[in-house]
Chains A and B, each alone.
Chain A
């Protein structure tokens, strides 16, 4: 019987809770997250407003709940962009001749050396600050890590007997990539997606904090942090709630990524 994997369980629970929170926010939040209500502005946490209200009188808990949608949406799209570009690139690099392999991987290294946030800020400056530009920029910045991880996995698969047999039987590279390589790097994709998700969550928060992410009034944890700056002395809770939400989300996805890696990595078999 396998031992319990605490990282996987804790990560799964945290991520699950965030997903549930985001889903629930579509049908119910304590208050309308964007409804301005000056009568209760800067209210302290109470039974009416569990996390208090911000300077517009908006319910902070409702904003955290709706903000989780932004967080998950950005993560899904950014990771999707990274995977859709990075996975084929990684497999292509593994299956290519030496010069093509070098070209792909050195280009990949160049992109890897470019700071992700800087790329996202450039996108924001050129195309305008929006959730979409933030997601695409974060996704593109995550492509190199996907390509690199998938390449190494694909190289191992390429040396297996069944791939050698397929090649000897005259199968074309594309069917080999789709039928043999891709299914065998799925676990790597899952682990990398989870880790990249955490990075995307943090990057979206940072971009919204800097004003290059989700524009107001759409709730976003990063922008909640930004808007709380004025009140750090008078109402620090406005920074603490979104700050903790971001930290928990990042921790959750990282734990999930670690847990999945422990689960799938055959080298760690003896540690289980």
Chain B
């Protein structure tokens, strides 16, 4: 019976236990508070019900009581707050050497692209026991990537990247929902996350594609002529992109920022917005000229240029696994 009438969601990621623990703590705290209040109300209501000739006893109030029922709950709330914040930070901070998947949401489907090049629609295959980082953007309205079994949710916005991550712990197939209302077929924007044993995953990955995403990006980089200015020496009209990603950049107006996915994206679409110090704002915009998928490939390529020993050839292999991380062995191409 409980197959069709579950009372607790599946637990299939490293975050699920953390969220459930806090949730259970909250259930206990609020259960106790409910019990306390309801018992008091029911007891008082019965014990002090109207009796002829027994007048109510007037009580003005009590400062110590007021203070204790403000401060004690406040203390409990602060514990919940701190605990919640810790869980949230963990869930918002992707580990460094995660496998990367680019997600493009549109009305009403999920397009997923592995850094290794596999493309999927409404279905994401991931290996068990590995950190997976999602770099997500939307082609139209706001969507939200929600996997209940992973206790993970992140809105997907048009015009920028949002990031989420998970670490699947149990093989199986799990629901993927769009959780932000996105139009007529919102409830049809669903899919599944297939968590596989590493060996199976290898087999699935070797199904063949057109090569890693960064290689696609490199091709686009050449086709669009980016390479004429962004040369691999210091003579180009644009900055040399080797080793730029993930590093601090000084802008022409003196500001400093870190070159992350959103910065690379903005620099392609709105090059004049944040020009690197020492360069002129001569780059034309590529807004409308590149699709979200091509943008993702370009970002992946720029990223690959910052992997250790980033030669063009090596970069492809190193996209997902810098510094000999365990992921490296999985690059079966």
Question: Do these two chains interact?
Answer: no
Chain B residues packing against A (C-beta within 8 Å): none
